[in-house]
Structure 1
């Protein structure tokens, strides 16, 4: 339903224009009260309209991208009749959004009713421009038809069939056919209008000029033939119309029959082919125009139709019409679903395959980015197209700047746009024979700087790969095209300043210096970063990378220096990992108090054994096969296979009957004391090599004491330190009396000690700790043992139990 443009500056149009002009009539018979009431009502309406306009103006000033606000604002201005503001509002909206065909028709009709009904032909170019802008936004047969009707009615040269007018009209008709002549259901309207105009020219010709008239007849016949060769819904009625027309011009054809008898073989053949194609497309056409289906279903029907068209082979082409059926169908779909990004992407994919650098694609890419400005891929394709068709730097720059004004859903889209811009500048500087004025490396540097300033805060936390990609690309171009190694280093230093914990940044920087044979500078970077803490295995990797670097590029002195620096660092990192793994093995997650109370209550109710007893019983039930692989395990080469048919939960080793060592044949070493059970050797997570540290379980306290007595004995040419292990570091016991050590154990009852009421914890256990000699400096022996590694001995000769922290301190020479 058309809106009414309210104004009193012009009389109503006399040609039935749908945009009626309304004036307020005056009735002299109205009484005073009715007049007053009407005046009050009108005043209220005006106040309401003014408030609505003010609200919409405020909204648009703060949020110009509000599409619905633009539509409502234009509607309100049309009601008010403020022509100047209405024009400005429409221009403002058209700069941001494509207008629908209905909105262009409404705009053109408003201008016609205001300027041309009084015979002001000077306004014709203004209205023509409106139609031109409208038909470029979307495919609309009705808008083209209005455009053609307007030209024939208001342009005197076209109306009077002057040579210039005829030429203008024919060019416009051919453009209309190119745009929508292949529209299956509505395209016939343009064909009929074209034939009607040519018939009018024929009727106006001198009847005595047979040659000129025959030429005109042939022109009309050609239009009929072209129309009969394409697929449209009125094919059969067009054939009958054509046969009637031929009969009027002396050709005897059966006008009552729909067969092709009497037609030339070529016309008959193309007509039959078009009719067959129409039959194949009937179902598709029916589905896409169904009004009872949802938009999603209709869009799916369009996509199925497009897939069929693309698989049916090369489209039929005919004189003056260069757009294939597939393109026409895409345009129909776009008109129905203008903000479907998937549809636009699919459309541009098709155009890239078929038309490539054709100049007609410029408008299509422009329309795509105006309809879906939030899709980064469309902007990227637009820039690549402009580069492919040798667009100017100004065009490329304008598109790039427009894209940065949009809001995209992912940070990767911004990255892609920046890098596409840089790619184009690089190619044009490197490969172009003639550069545009002002095109130099400064543009590349500025683009990279903008990308870094805008994207670094987001990429630092979400996408370090893209951040590294931008800076490595930038630094490479600074050195290769810009010929400025100082600037290239500045790029890397800037990245390190913001993302120094990212090992890839250091590696990239070092790689650049190495590739350019700047060995000294690369070595300096290794010295700066080898002590840094990187995620995962990065710290070890950078140390090993430095050693490899010196192997390939450094002198012997350089290699020795790097080894002296890296070795302690690697040991420190290894011990740190050991500490973490020990915590994981010995410190299982504790349950909350409620779970503990439930477990205790359950155990008491079922008269089960205490937790320590249950764990010991369970350990005695585990079947193990101790073979020669136990010896291999001491070297970290292979782990023993435990024959256990069912998966078992990881054991929680909380007892204290464990010996810790690092050499092979541990079981044989302890064979003389007996009682050795589970042997657990700690291994490096990455290399799977033994760390030279192990826990050995013993069945009881007596065997444990015998194992501890072997402390400081030589084993395979090396001395072992064997001490008790106190995993929790909480059991403080006295070894002043040998009887205490034999009575203490895990899981025993607590007893009061002395007047202070402290509880003693019995150590029934079997945990000893062995420190291998290979973690000591070469040449170290028990005789020159550093103080931090010494252990105290009780009168009975037993070692004091060591807590985990004490053992770590002993390893790290801290105590």
Structure 2
């Protein structure tokens, strides 16, 4: 391609006509360069040009690679077109523009640039191609400059218009009227269209033969009418338009003051329309000033547009509202909220028509990621009685877009099915629609959505609708059942089975519905679905089945419900246990923090003072609690719990050894150790309760908060232990198996209200007295524990101070059932130091 072809769109410096001559004002000798200097300069220029070309090629290759992998990169398209235009690669440039416009709308400036390039390259022979470019440009965004460029191009390059033939004049007038309809009420720039219109008609007037008075007068009236129309519209420069009109009337021989802004001398109806237009403009001047400001943010400008729109809507003029929406869209082309508001207004006011359809087409091109726009676009096409081919094309395009939620895809599929159903049912339109179209749409939706919407109500709704239409429009029961079966393969929802059963029951297929209940009553559903399906089966049999059917259902459902009940109880117990543990941890943490946050003066006291102060505070606290008659878990520390627990143990031991009190002898073989009241009622569902022994205070007779419950056998005992951590009157019970064979073991329980208790197992298998056990237990509890855990069975301690005998050392006078061998060294009593050394060695 030669340089002549590249020059119209090249931005380089190939054209030497502007730069090489007449640069300096000096003599010829000063302006001349030496051959060497000239050669060096040419070499540097060629080297620079070569480097620029290499860099441009590298950038073009990078952009081509980017666009091949990511065609939706808008900025890459813009940069690619810019570089191609600069390098003069015409063929690639046209292709690049077409590729970009197939994905995105082009800005008005890009359309003007494209049209000018084509006009320069093709000349008058490419007139039709350039006109098509202008038509495509003005259909995407409202742009007064683009319309003016389009009108000027037609006047200059259309042979018929230049020759002022009747066809050419008619063609130009039609184009001007289209421009007036599209943009002439633009408040700030609309006068440019009117001015171009009047200039065109005035030029036509000059071509009319002066002797043809009739044609001349007709043309004058046409120009006057255009002025009158312009003066009745609230435009930014109404006063200058009035002066231009009066000046023109003066040229026609009418006596008017062309320099005055008054309406004196013009026709009354024109003056009245002008004054009304001026009032309308003054009411809008503030909004126009705000939206045309350059010093405000985009957010503020958008809010000003919305306020302006609300103002225009209050006057109820759809044309003015629409033109303002178009102005806002030109400034905010990718605002989905603006497009949604615009299309909603058109649906409400214009309902249907080419205008609304075109707006929806542009909206989906600018914001293809908004599913609601596509849904309303399909409804608009259906409302306008569009063909199936057109609707199908829009639908196919919509599902290729990327939406933010799966619900938007579902809404699209359902909208498509709804439209097909309505048109098939009413036979609207010229197309012959068949039910398989609906089946294909449902299948497409299921294939696409099922992997992503598993076990959701939305997917269930889709399949329920599908099965319903298979019955009503397709008249195919087998296909309807197949829809439900395909859903149940991947869906574990209780509602899905209920929907399937409801369809069969509605059709009167009782046996089929019963068969479905038999398939699903034992399945595990979320929430209460497992219980609900069982109860639903029983209701179904009561309403539709025989007595035998009901009995069989009860026989199957009853154990399942009992299993579910036990499972729920176990889950509730687990959750209550976890909640209790959390509360205990929180209480412990609060207690630690409370102790840590105590007075700091204790740190400065001596150990003796601290011990004295601590003992005094402890005694005061115990005295206070004794007078108040209640305990607080948050205030008790470790020592208080030990004192109280030991006190209760001693009282129980004294009560058990009281010779004046007759009591039954219990072996505790099948006994559960629990802690709360009303135990007969609590264990009524377990059964097998033989007796309940609630521990009472020996002095006051009040319950001590724990009890022993005897059961008939281990089976009932095991069932009772499983009720551990369940609530009784709002309190959590702690239930454990009593194990008397294991010896005397401590058991600590915490009440639901936070109190602390300690109890010991009662009785012995060998029948030894309780007082002796209590004494031994008390001695053992006071004895220090041996290190290392080694057992010592053959040591005998002699002497008087035997109250602190270790558990593994025999007291003085202890004898076994069998005679013992005398060990060496037993004759000589050991001193305390000897005994201490002996224990340390062991």
TM-score (norm 1): 0.75
Q: Is the counterpart of residue 47 in structure 1 residue 54 in structure 2?
A: yes
Q: Tell me the equivalent position of 2:74.
A: 67
Higher relative contact order (Cα pairs below 8 Å, separated by 6+ residues):
1
CA distance in 2, matches of 1:696, 1:276: 97
CA distance in 2, matches of 1:619, 1:692: 39
Q: 2:338 aligns with which of 340, 343, 356?
A: 343
Q: 1:154 aligns with which of 148, 153, 157?
A: 157
CA distance in 1, matches of 2:693, 2:176: 98
CA distance in 1, matches of 2:286, 2:395: 43
Q: 1:92 aligns with which of 95, 99, 113?
A: 99
Q: 1:474 aligns with which of 466, 470, 488?
A: 466
Q: Tell me the equivalent position of 1:132.
A: 135
Q: Tell me the equivalent position of 1:483.
A: 475
Q: Tell me the equivalent position of 2:534.
A: 543
Q: Is the counterpart of residue 368 in structure 1 residue 363 in structure 2?
A: yes
Deviation of residue 230 (structure 1)?
A: 0.8
Q: Retained in 2: the 8 A contact 1:98–1:371?
A: yes
Q: Is the counterpart of residue 526 in structure 1 residue 526 in structure 2?
A: no
Q: Retained in 1: the 8 A contact 2:523–2:530?
A: yes
SS of the residue aligned with 1:459?
coil
Q: Tell me the equivalent position of 2:126.
A: 123
Pairs within 5 Å for 1:3-402: 8-10=3-5, 22-23=13-14, 25=16, 31-116=38-123, 121-311=124-314, 313-315=315-317, 324-402=319-397
Q: Tell me the equivalent position of 2:486.
A: 494
SS of the residue aligned with 2:234?
coil
Q: 1:429 aligns with which of 405, 424, 427?
A: 424
Pairs within 5 Å for 1:406-445: 406-434=401-429, 436-437=431-432, 439-445=433-439
Q: 1:478 to 1:593 in 2, by over 3 A?
A: closer
Deviation of residue 619 (structure 1)?
A: 13
Number of residue pairs the alignment of both structures matches: 672
Deviation of residue 565 (structure 1)?
A: 1.0
Q: Tell me the equivalent position of 2:830.
A: none
Q: Retained in 2: the 8 A contact 1:712–1:721?
A: no
Q: 1:731 to 1:188 in 2, by over 3 A?
A: same
CA distance in 1, matches of 2:594, 2:234: 86
SS of the residue aligned with 1:324?
helix
Give CA-to-partner distance per residue, 1:462-509, whole Å, 9 cap, x none: xx111111111111111111111111111111111111x211111111
Q: Is the counterpart of residue 459 in structure 1 residue 453 in structure 2?
A: yes
Unaligned runs of 5+ in 1: 1-5, 316-322, 624-653, 658-674, 684-688, 714-718, 759-815
Q: Retained in 2: the 8 A contact 1:429–1:435?
A: no
Q: 2:573 aligns with which of 558, 575, 582?
A: 582
Q: Tell me the equivalent position of 1:320.
A: none
Q: Tell me the equivalent position of 1:716.
A: none
Deviation of residue 46 (structure 1)?
A: 1.5
Pairs within 5 Å for 1:622-641: none
Q: Tell me the equivalent position of 1:516.
A: 507
Pairs within 5 Å for 1:698-777: 698-700=694-696, 727=734, 729=736, 732-734=739-741, 735-737=764-766
CA distance in 2, matches of 1:324, 1:454: 42
SS of the residue aligned with 2:51?
helix
Deviation of residue 37 (structure 1)?
A: 2.7
SS of the residue aligned with 1:139?
coil
Q: 1:11 to 1:561 in 2, by over 3 A?
A: closer
CA distance in 2, matches of 1:80, 1:618: 101
Q: 1:39 to 1:248 in 2, by over 3 A?
A: closer
Q: Tell me the equivalent position of 1:403.
A: 398
Q: Retained in 2: the 8 A contact 1:7–1:21?
A: no
Give CA-to-partner distance per residue, 1:606-659, whole Å, 9 cap, x none: 67999xx99x99997399xxxxxxxxxxxxxxxxxxxxxxxxxxxxxx9x99xx
SS of the residue aligned with 2:262?
coil
SS of the residue aligned with 1:307?
helix
Q: 1:200 to 1:268 in 2, by over 3 A?
A: same
CA distance in 2, matches of 1:586, 1:41: 82
SS of the residue aligned with 1:65?
coil
Q: Tell me the equivalent position of 2:664.
A: none
CA distance in 2, matches of 1:721, 1:197: 105
SS of the residue aligned with 1:137?
coil
Q: Retained in 1: the 8 A contact 2:675–2:706?
A: no
Instruction: Decide which structure has the larger Cα Rg and report it.
Output: 2
Deviation of residue 707 (structure 1)?
A: 7.3
Give CA-to-partner distance per residue, 1:110-142, whole Å, 9 cap, x none: 1122221xxxx2210010001000000100000
Q: Tell me the equivalent position of 2:602.
A: none
Q: 1:739 to 1:250 in 2, by over 3 A?
A: farther
Q: Retained in 2: the 8 A contact 1:145–1:190?
A: yes
Unaligned runs of 5+ in 2: 21-32, 597-609, 633-644, 650-673, 725-733, 742-763, 793-842
Q: 1:250 to 1:547 in 2, by over 3 A?
A: same
Q: 1:42 to 1:732 in 2, by over 3 A?
A: farther
CA distance in 1, matches of 2:408, 2:316: 35
Deviation of residue 247 (structure 1)?
A: 2.2
CA distance in 1, matches of 2:6, 2:594: 99
CA distance in 2, matches of 1:598, 1:677: 26
CA RMSD of aligned residues (A): 4.1
